[in-house]
């Protein structure tokens, strides 16, 4: 059974960079034609797709965040990561990592709350 | 971006009721649609992918239909564990957008 776990700071200063890592267990991140996604959920905007990355490093980002987002993958550690720069209070949310299969997200992490403070 | 509009935003139903939730896309998305269930404090869980395919382990009382712009999620006989919020998501075009959710509450 594939499991995902987000990790990273729960509090980030405004204008700084939010950095999260997702560790995949129960299977290799390189197996299968899967993308690996980041999705966030805030009270104000509901669920928002941030983007996804393939194990080759190929990415697709939400245009609304594209100028601030960078995703990377480390197959040797079975991890993928999210960096979101120049954060503001609007970036406060629960951040989920997920596996994408057949263009749907079939396995999700538990989510991690990130609060942006001024 | 493709806008996904769910209706109703909330509903009250009783155990055993048949419940239908609608999701409408602002443009055609073929069958690139998924449905998720989310309970408070938990991550969403995949129920349906490709508009009508039941995800592994999901009870058969859940079903999905539709193509193009109009989709439905039906729970044939509502169970206690089905009280939750349901979301649709399109994956036809980037960004993959979600509907605003439908909260199913106990009547």
Where chain A has pLDDT below 50, the residues are none
Tokens representing B87? 């979301």
Touching B: A residues 37-66, CB under 8 Å = 46-49, 51, 60-64
Contact between chains at A108 and B55 (C-beta distance less than 8 A): no
Give B42→chain A minimum CA distance, Å: 6
C-alpha A53/C-alpha A71 separation (Å) is 7
Partners of residue B98 in chain A, C-beta under 8 Å? 46-49
CA distances from B93 to B2, B40, B97 (A): 7, 29, 9
Partners of residue B1 in chain A, C-beta under 8 Å? 63
Give B45→chain A minimum CA distance, Å: 7
pLDDT in tens, B47-89: 999 999 999 999 999 999 999 999 999 999 999 999 999 999 9
Tokens representing B51? 């508009």
Could you tell me what percent of chain B has a pLDDT over 90?
Answer: 98
C-alpha A12/C-alpha A22 separation (Å) is 18
Q: Where are the alpha helices (DSSP H) in A2-108?
A: none
| Secondary structure (H, E, C), B77-97 | CCCHHHCCEEEEEECCCCCCC
């Amino acid at each position: 059974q594939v499991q995902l776990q987000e990790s990273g700071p729960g509090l980030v200063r405004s204008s700084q960079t939010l950095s999260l890592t997702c560790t995949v267990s129960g299977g290799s991140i390189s197996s299968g034609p899967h993308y690996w996604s980041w999705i966030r959920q805030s009270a104000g905007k509901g669920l928002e797709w941030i983007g996804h990355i393939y194990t080759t490093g190929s990415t697709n980002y939400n245009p609304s965040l594209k100028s601030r987002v960078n995703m990377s993958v480390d197959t040797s550690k079975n991890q993928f990561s999210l960096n979101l720069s120049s954060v503001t209070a609007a970036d406060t949310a629960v951040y989920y990592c997920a596996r994408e299969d057949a263009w749907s997200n079939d396995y999700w992490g538990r989510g991690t709350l990130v609060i942006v403070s001024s | 971006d493709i806008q996904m509009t769910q209706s109703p935003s909330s509903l009250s139903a009783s155990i055993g009721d048949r419940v239908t939730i609608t999701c409408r896309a602002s443009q055609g998305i073929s069958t690139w649609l998924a449905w998720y269930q989310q309970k408070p404090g938990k991550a969403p869980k995949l129920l349906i992918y490709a508009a009508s395919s039941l995800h592994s382990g999901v009870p058969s009382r859940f079903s999905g239909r539709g193509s193009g712009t109009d989709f439905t999620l039906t729970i044939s006989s509502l169970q206690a564990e089905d009280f939750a919020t349901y979301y649709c998501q399109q994956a036809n075009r980037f960004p993959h957008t979600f509907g605003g959710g439908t909260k199913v509450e106990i009547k």
